[in-house]
Structure 1
Amino acid sequence: MEIDYKAIGQRIKIARIKKGMTQEVVSYIVDVTPAHMSNIETGKTKVSLSTLIAIANALSVSVDALLCDNVLNVKVIFEIEAKELFSDCDEYEIRLLVDILKSAKKAIRKDRKVRNMFEM
């Protein structure tokens, strides 16, 4: 399995923005140059394990959350992400999102069923 460094970088960037931190601040905490931090976020450079752990600690997120696009068993991570997505919604928004998700789930399963029929 190939590691998707762009996806890791994107998740780092999202977590950083959610925390209201700049690349410069995170790079200072993690002890890397701002240019290196930028390259990590864009996936132009491979982030080392020690740097990834330092970034996760600086952003108060789990390494799992940063790696979830590269890990096979990530259902729990996405469930947590969905819970966070719903946390600031009012009742109307939750009902609407649930209806949309039900429709999307039905369409995805129908599409998968059709694709499987043609793969036989």
Structure 2
Amino acid sequence: MSNEKYDFKALGQAIKAARMKREMTREQLGEILDLAPRYIMSIENNGQHPSFQVFYELATYFHISVDQFFFPESTPEKSSVQRRVESLLDEMDDTELIILEATAKGIKEAKERRAAAGK
């Protein structure tokens, strides 16, 4: 077993990106998880190693898949972005999902047309 310490910076940046996507301040997150905003800042910016409990709470709160950080050589089933999108989808009603489905189909069709034109 190696004595190497895990470099938490990439995961800290993922936490920061997820927090900012929700337009949440460190103060707001700190209140929710009972953490000091400066501690959150150290995790996000400096890669400070949180306790396992804090790590768990942050990863589950933001639906961050940690596999991509711990096992970068293997492709995770779903990325953190996919998990965050799924979380947003869970909050939508059927009318909103129909609109989103049509948008996704439009993006896919445009991508296919660009690929066909490029051949």
1:93 maps to 107
What is the CA RMSD across the aligned residues, in angstroms? 3.6
Q: How many residues align?
A: 97
Normalising by structure 2, we get a TM-score of 0.58
Question: Shift in Å at residue 98 of structure 1?
Answer: 6.2
Amino-acid identity (%): 21
Question: Do the aligned partners of residues 5 and 67 (structure 1) sit closer, same or farther apart at CA in structure 2, a change above 3 Å counting?
Answer: farther
Partners of 1:58 and 1:39 lie apart in 2 by 18
Question: Do the aligned partners of residues 22 and 76 (structure 1) sit closer, same or farther apart at CA in structure 2, a change above 3 Å counting?
Answer: same
Bigger RCO of structures 1 and 2 (CA < 8 A, at least 6 apart): 1
**1 or 2, which has the higher helix percentage?**
1
Alignment of 1:1-120 (within 5 A): 3-59=6-62, 61-62=63-64, 65-66=65-66, 68-72=68-72, 73-78=74-79, 81=82, 84=85, 89-95=103-109, 97=111
Show structure 1 runs of 4+ deviating over 4 A: 87-92, 95-101
In structure 1, the gaps of 5 or more residues are: 102-120
Normalising by structure 1, we get a TM-score of 0.58
